[in-house]
Amino acid sequence: MLTDLEAENTALLQFLYACPTGLIEFAADGTVGMANPIAMQLLLPISGAPFVTNLFEALSSCAPDLRNLLDAFEPGHGTVCEGHRIFVGGGKGRATVLACTIVKMSAERYIATLGDISKQVVQERRLKEAETWFASLLDGIDDVAVMSLDEAGRIDAVTPSILRQTALAPENLIGLPLEAIERPDAVSSAPSVGEALVTAQRDGWHLYEGWHVHGTCERYWCQRLVTVRHDQDGEGGQLGYTVVLRAVTRQGRDATELRNLLTRDHLTGAGNRAHFFEMAERELARFRRYATGFAIVAMDIDHFKRINDTEGHAAGDAVLQELTRRCKAELRPQDTFARLGGEEFGILLPGGSLDEAVRIAERVRRVVSEVPFAFGGKGLSVTASFGCVAPETSGQALANLMASADEALYRAKHGGRDQVAIAGRNRAAA
């Protein structure tokens, strides 16, 4: 017969194996003491090794900042990070995204959870695209047509503006399938009407923007939104679809506004993480093809959590916004300044050398530290640490470059903060 302790151990093991979230117990240096099967399923493909014995090493290619988070957490116990997003595969739209929460149990014992939130991130991006589209719809509409479809996708009602949109008379459209009038340009990659309806059934809506063909065979730029229409008075079942067609004659301006909203960080106005990695991948491809140099600077605000804890999150937001303004003023128009997450930023310098990156990082460091940040009638002293890297061979991957920049940043932090360090050199920049 099992003793009470054996029964408890058995129940604990059953819980670990059945838990749908990755659970990892590890030491301050990252050494893994215990991990359940889900954690190993997530970590093994990332590490590329047959076994995972150190959490920091396993995630070094995509989350080199985890060690910094632990080092910066000063209390004896508590939540180090919650839902920290780890982009596996360079941060692009199709990357796997993990959510990591770390709890400090003691000076040498930590518990981490890992979960795959890739689908959630895709849905968030789709929602942001929809919100962007609705915002632009309210300003400067040139021509909008609305149609009602039954459950089979046949047109049962249209607005008079459909004539201007498609050059087809409204009375001739009733009963036709949407495919009869919705004609994307032959060379476009637009999803079919059937695909749009299936997506709308699944997500509640579908949005597409691209070239369409007018009833007179002329091409025009069109935005198409398909939403599911439900019975509001009965049991909430699906009644059909609503289709909105928007012809955009100010394509250039609207496209720029949409692109800005999708590539900028909403709080600071800096580029967002996805935009930074997209631009960095372009520079890396250009480097491989033409040997044109570029450099990357990783930047992290020192003791930012202390600002939030002592002055409040409003002060933290104000610091992030003012820091972005100061930094962008020191950069060239072709440079990219982006917020990568929290208080972490990245600077991409097309055509720049490692020495130029160090000079620019030092200049940015001074404009951050030399003038206090005004908030609530007082000045907040803010400093930042920097890590600089530039590619040396065409075989280097972007993830490795970012890991090197973060390693240099880590040394700058441990060397006293408020300084610039260079990847591969065990000293701060002079």
Of 229, 230, 231, 209, which Cα lies nearest the Cα of 220? 209
DSSP string spanning 342-386? TTEEEEEEET--HHHHHHHHHHHHHHHHSSPEEETTEEEP--EEE
Amino acid sitting at position 113: T
Compute the CA torsion angle 284, 398, 73, 345 (nearest 10 deg): 20
- Rounded CA-CA distance 17/67 in Å is 27
Amino acid sitting at position 248: V
Query: What is the tens place of the pLDDT at every residue in 285-336?
Result: 889 988 889 999 999 999 999 999 999 999 999 999 999 999 999 999 899 9
Query: What is the tens place of the pLDDT at every residue in 250-293?
Result: 555 555 566 666 788 989 999 999 889 989 998 998 899 888 89
Residue 204 makes CB contacts below 8 A (sequence gap 6+) with: 227, 228
Going by their DSSP bridges, the two strands 420-422 and 384-389 should be labelled as parallel
DSSP string spanning 168-187? --GGGTTT-BGGGT--B-TT
Which residues in the chain land under pLDDT 70?
A: 1-7, 9, 11-12, 90-94, 130-143, 183-190, 214-217, 231-238, 249-261, 425-430
Domains along the sequence of the chain with CATH: 4-116 (3.30.450.20), 123-256 (3.30.450.20), 267-422 (3.30.70.270)
Instruction: Find the helix or strand (DSSP H, E) in which 113 lies.
Output: strand 109-116
Amino acid sitting at position 3: T
Radius of gyration of the CA atoms of the chain, in A: 26
Q: SS3 for 131? A: helix
